[in-house]
Amino acid sequence: MDRINQLNNLIDKAPDNPFPRYGLAMEYKNQGDHHEAVRIFQELVERHPNYTAAYLHFGMSLQAVGKQEEAQEILELGIKVSGNSGELHAQEELQAALKELCEDTP
């Protein structure tokens, strides 16, 4: 059974656990299927808005499919969420990604 099927099975068994959904989105992202990664990341942040690990990679996938404005919005939201939860390392990573995105966007 491939990793995507395994992760989907884990999601089916524990739909309220954010980690398998995050793993699935990352698997799609790592395979270069950013459109599917965006779809899964969107589900993840809707179901678990405080799951700060999702925001950086969600923003990166949005950027990869040419959605710079939405990527910026997601990174900004992630900065807010991570700040509210005291996850300073995640917040710093998101701020660096946002800075880079803004520098790269004409």
User: What are the pLDDT digits (tens) for 3-54?
Assistant: 999 999 999 999 999 999 999 999 999 999 999 999 999 999 999 999 999 9
Q: What is the pLDDT of residue 103?
A: 87
C-alpha 83/C-alpha 33 separation (Å) is 30
Q: What is the pLDDT of residues 56-96, one digit of tens each?
A: 999 999 999 999 999 999 999 999 999 999 999 999 999 99
Domain interval for residue 88: 3-104
C-alpha 39/C-alpha 31 separation (Å) is 14
CATH number where 91 lies: 1.25.40.10
Instruction: Count CB atoms within 10 A of the CB of residue 29.
Output: 20
- What does the chain look like in DSSP terms, one character per residue? --HHHHHHHHHHH-TT-HHHHHHHHHHHHHTT-HHHHHHHHHHHHHH-TT-THHHHHHHHHHHHTT-HHHHHHHHHHHHHHHHHTT-HHHHHHHHHHHHHHHHH--
Counting the structural domains of the chain, the total is: 1
- What three-state secondary structure class fits 91? helix
